[in-house]
Chain A
Amino acid sequence: MADVRCPMCGKPNPEELELCQFCQARIKPLEGRSPAEEFNSPIGAEPPLDTGGEQDSIDEWLNFLRQSEDEGEPRPFDEEQLADWMKEDLDIKMPESQEPLEPEGTPDWLSSLRSIADEDAPEPPDVEKAQPAVEPSPADSSEENEVPGWLSKLRSRRTAEEGEADQEFAFQLGEEPKISEQAGIQEDRSAISTESVSDWLSELRGEEAPVVDSSQPPELVQEELPAGQVEIGEEVVQPGVGVVSQDEDIPVVEADRASEIQPQTEEIPDWLAGIVAGGAAVAAAEGVEADLDNLPEWLADLEKSSALDREEIVPFGEEGEELTFDWLQTQVRAGQETPYGEELTSDTLGTEADTRGVGPFVGDLSDFLEEAELSSLEAAQPGVEQPGGDLSPAELPTWLEAMRPVDAAAGVYAIDAQDGQVESSGPLAGMQGVLPAEPEIARLKKPAVYALRLQVTESQRAHASLLDELVKSEGEPKEIPGRPAVTSPYLFRLIIFAVLISTILWQVFTGSRTSPLPGLMPETFDTSEIIDNLPENALVLLGVDYDPALAGEMEAAAASLVDHMMLKGAYLGLVSTSSTGPALGEHLIATVGSLSGNRYQGIEMYANLGYLPGGASGLQAFAQAPRQVAPFALDPETTAVWSNTPLQAAQDLAGFDLVAVITDDSDKARAWIEQVQPTLNGTPLIMVISTQAEPLVRPYYQANPKQVDGMVVGLAGGGSYEQSHQDLLAGNGLARKYWDAFSLSVLAAVVLIAVGGFVNLVTNLLNAQKQSKADKKR
C-alpha cells in the first residue's frame, strides 16, 4: 500500500488517511474542488486544476488587495476591477441544475459562491469530530445549512494552518506546548480564527465603509447616508467603521480611520456593503434590534439568532457552520476588554515577555516586532470566556491569511465599554456611552499605528532601529575617504611655482642687464689680489667639493675666478672629496672654456686627480701624502701626474702656489681648513663658497691670523668679481647673466613668504580663538 506525501509538511502518510498524521493537513483532495477551494490551496502546494483564465484574474484581484495592504494606505479601489472579478466569479460554473437559494436581488457572485459552497460542502470531518457535546439548537441547524460552504472551508483550513503555526510558535519558545497550554492555544486559536475572519470581513468592510464626516452632527448623517450604510435602530452603522451614532457599547471608530477607509466604499456593491455592515457592526449588547430589512436573508437570520441567544455565543463555524452575529460581537467585545495599550494585564505582558525571551534580534527587527505583535494579539484575549472551550477554529484560506491587515488598526476600534456615562442634554439625551466630542476632534491625528503591538515607546523604537543600523553597518566595508586632490596647500605651492617661473622667464626673455652688479667686497678684492700675484705657470690645487645640485650657483660664482687663473697660465690639479667631484670639475672647465673661448684641454693644462674617499680623514691622508693617496689622473691614459706633469714640482701640498676650494658645504670647508691649511706653510687658501656656508666660513676669513686668505660668496661674490674684472669670460659672465632674474625673483620670494606667513598667522590666531571659545563652552 503506497504512502502518500502530505502536501503541507511533505511527510509520508498511509494512503487511506485523509488528513496528515503529522500536521493534520488534508491529503486527499475533495472531489470536484470549487474555485474557492482551489483559490484557497496554500501557496506553493501542487498547482490547482487548470481553470483557464479564472485563476489569473482572481490572483490579480488579491494582488491588488495585497498591494494596498503593503502600501499601508488603502488605495482607491477600482470598482470595475472588483466588479469584473466578482462577475467572473459569479460566472464560474454555476451548476444549472441547482436553484439559487438566495433571495432576489442578491448579487450573482455571492449566490454563485453559495452554490459552489453547497455543492462541495460535505461536513468537514475534523469539525464534527472536534465538535463538543454541545448540540446545536434546533433553530440554528436550518441556518447552518445555508451557511455557504466556502465559509466553512475557511474554518477547516484555518484550523489546519493554525495548528502548524502553534507548533512553530511553541517551538520558537523553546518548549513543547503542554497539553493544558495546547488547549489554551486552541482556545486562543479559535479566538484568533474568529477574530481573523472578522478581520477579513472588517477589511472587506473597511473597503466599503462610507465616509463619515465627523464634523456634522449625527442626525444629518442619517439623511445623507451613503449607500451601504445601515441604520440599526438609532445607530447608524458604517461597515468597517462601526457605529457612528451614540451607543456606549458600540465601538467608536476614529473618524480619521473612517475617512481613510472612506474612498473605497462607494464602489463595493450594495449587497456586500450590507453584509459587511451587518457582520462588522457590533449591535448593542442588549436590546438593540438590528434593522434586518436590508440584510441578506442569511445574515438577517443570523442577526435574529444572536438576539435570542445572548449567552450561547457560538464562534463562527463552532456549531455546525452557523454564522451567528454574536461571534462578531464577541470579537468586538474582546477588543474592548483589552484595548491595545491600556489594559494589557501582566500575563499578556508575560506572554510578550516570553516572545521577547526568544531573542528579539535573532532575525530582522521588523520580524521580531511582527512576532511580538502576533503574540500580543494572541494574548489580547485572556479574559474572554470562550463558550464551549474546545470549539475548533474557523479555517481561513491562506490568501485571506496573507491579506490580514495590521491588527493594530483593528484594535484601535475597540470601544471602551466601561464608560457608563448617560447624556443629560442635547438630541442624544438619555443615551449611554456617547462619544466625547473632543476626543474625536483631539484624535483627528493619525492613530498610533502600533495600537495592539508590543508596548514599544517611540524612544525604544528609535534605539532599537539605531542598534539595528549599527549591527548592519558593522559588516559593510567603509570607504576610506580619499584625500581631496586640490587643497589650499596644493594651490599655494602652484602659486609659488607660477610666480617664480614667470618672474625668471620674463627677465631671461627680455635679457635685461639693468640691475647693477655688487661693488667690490674686501674678501673678493683679497682673492683677486692673490690670483693677480700668481707667478707664471703657477701650480694651483682646485678642490671641487660641491654637489651637482648647487652647480648653478657655484659655477656662476667660480667661473670668472677659474678663467682668471687660466689667463695667468696656471696648471690646475683637480681633486674632490665627493664621487661626483671629478665629473663636475670637467663640467666647470668645459663651461669656462665655452664662455671665454679659452679652451683648456688635455693633461698639459690640467689634471683631474679624482676622488678622495673618507671625507675629512681622506683629506688628512691626502694632505700628508698626496703622491700615495692620488697617484694617477683620471684621463684615458691614467697618467702618473707626479712624474709626467708640471705637478712633479710639488712634493706635497705646500709645493702648490695656491689652493682654491669651491664648496657649498660648511663642513667640507671646515675639513679643508682644519686638515689641509695647517700643512700649507704659507701657501694661500682661498674659498669660493655658497651663500649657505657664509656664516660658518667667514669667521675663518676674519680670524687673525687669517685661516682663509680670500673668499667669494655665492652669486653676489661672483658678480662682484666679474665687476672688478670686466675682461674675464669675454664679458659673458654667468653672474651678470643671472643677476637681474635673481634680484627680481628674490623680491617675489620675499613677498610670497611675507603674505603667506601673514595669512597663516591670522588663520592660526582665528583657530586658536575658536578653540578657546569651544573650550570655555565645554
Chain B
Amino acid sequence: MGSGCDHPGWGSIETGGADMKIPVAAAIAIAFGLVVLAGYFLPLPELVSLRTILVQWSMIIASTALFVGVANLLRVHWFKLRKGGTASAYSFLLIASLLVTLVVVGLYGPTGSWSLWIFNSIQFPIESSLMAILAVVLIYSAARLMRRRMDLFSLLFGMAVLLVLLGSAPIFGIEIPFLYGPDGLRSLIVQIPAVAGARGILLGVALGTIATGLRILIGADRPYGG
C-alpha cells in the first residue's frame, strides 16, 4: 500500500502494511480482541461473560509478565555487575535489595511486620523525597519556560500557574478576597476554563485511542510477534 502522506524528513515505508504472511500471533490478537470488543457493544450475555473471563485471564497473564519484567531487570544489572566499573557497585546494591525484599516479603506477606518495615523505612521515604525534589524541578521548569518557548501559550500557562498558586493559600495569614476561597478567582478558573479544556483534551485523547486500537485490531500495526 502506498503511503498516503509522506511527511518530510522521515522517508516512506514499504512494509508495515498488511503483509500477506499473517503470523499466528496476529491471528490470536485479532481474534481475541474482536471477541472482547463484541462483548462491550453486543448486548448478548454470553459475550459479556466471555469478555469478563478473557479480561480476568489477561490480568493473570499480566502478573506473570511482571515476573518476566523482574527477570529482565535482574539480567540487565547482572551484565552491568559483570562488566565492572563504578556502575557495577550500584547494580550490586539493586540485585541485593531485590533478593532480600523477595525473601522477606515472600516469607511475611505484603502486609507482614517486616515487610511493612522495609516499605515504611526504605520505599516510602525515598519515594516521597523524590516527590519533594520534584517541587524544585517544577519551579525551575516553569521559570525557564519563557526562555524555551516564548509564545502566547507559554504566557497564559505561566499566568494560570501563578494565579492558582496564589489563590490556594492565605498570604501571610491574609485571605485575599477576590482570589482565595470557594468564590474566588482561583475556584472560577478551576471550575470553568480548566474543566472545559480538560474535557476537550479527554475527548481528543479518546479519539486517538480508538484510532490506534483499531489499527492494531485490524493488524495494520503489530507490536507483538518479535
Q: Which residues of A contact B (CB under 8 A)?
A: 489, 492-493, 496-497, 500, 514-516, 518-519, 521-522, 547-552, 580, 582-583, 586-587, 608, 610-611, 613-614, 617-618, 620-621, 624-625, 629, 634-636, 638, 691, 694-696, 698-699, 702, 716, 739, 742-744, 746-747, 749-750, 752-761, 763-765
Contact = CB atoms under 8 A, between A and B. Distances in A.
What are the 5 closest A-B residue pairs judged by CB atoms, nearest first?
A756-B143, A614-B59, A743-B169, A549-B131, A760-B147
Given A549-B130, A586-B116, A753 B162 contact: yes
B166 interface: yes
Interface in B109-159: 109-112, 115-116, 119-120, 123-124, 127-128, 130-132, 134-136, 139-140, 142-147, 150, 158
B52 interface: yes
Given A696-B198, A754-B162, A756-B144, A515 B169 contact: yes
Interface centre among A496, A497, A618, A753 (most CB of B within 10 A): A753
Given A496-B136, A760-B143, A764-B150, A613 B191 contact: no
Contact of A547 (B110, B127, B161): B127
A754 B165 CA distance: 12
Contacts of A746: 165-166, 168-169
A496 B139 contact: yes
Given A550-B131, A695-B198, A743 B182 contact: no
B63 A582 contact: no
Contacts of A548: 123-124, 127-128
A447 to B, nearest CB: 60
Contacts, number: 168
Given A549-B131, A694-B190, A702-B191, A621 B175 contact: no
Contact of B162 (A496, A742, A750): A750
B12 interface: no
A761 B147 contact: yes
A440 B130 CA distance: 83
A753 B166 CA distance: 12
A600 B184 CA distance: 39
A546 B89 CA distance: 32
A698 B195 contact: yes
Contacts of B2: none
B62 A614 contact: yes
A587 to B, nearest CB: 6
Q: Interface on chain B toward A: helix, strand, loop, or mixed SS?
A: helix
A758 B112 CA distance: 52
Contact of A750 (B59, B127, B165): B165
B203 interface: no
Contacts of B108: 636
Q: Interface on chain A toward B: helix, strand, loop, or mixed SS?
A: helix
Contacts of B52: 620-621, 624-625
B202 A696 contact: yes
Nearest to B199: A699
B173 interface: yes
B139 A695 contact: no
Nearest to B120: A587
B191 A698 contact: yes
Contacts of A744: 172
B181 interface: yes
Contacts of A739: 169
A749 B127 contact: no
B128 A552 contact: yes
Given A695-B195, A739-B169, A763 B136 contact: no
B30 interface: no
Contact of A515 (B59, B173, B195): B173
Contact of B181 (A514, A519, A617, A755): A519
Contact of B147 (A617, A635, A764): A764
Given A515-B169, A586-B116, A497 B111 contact: no
B55 A621 contact: yes
B56 interface: yes
Contacts of A551: 124, 127-128
Given A496-B139, A547-B127, A583 B150 contact: no
Contact of A583 (B58, B111, B173): B111
Nearest to A760: B147
Contact of B168 (A496, A521, A691, A758): A691
Contacts of B134: 549
Contacts of A620: 52, 55
B110 A583 contact: yes
18 contacts: A496-B136, A514-B173, A515-B170, A547-B127, A548-B124, A549-B127, A551-B124, A552-B128, A583-B120, A621-B52, A698-B191, A743-B172, A747-B169, A749-B139, A749-B165, A754-B162, A760-B146, A760-B147
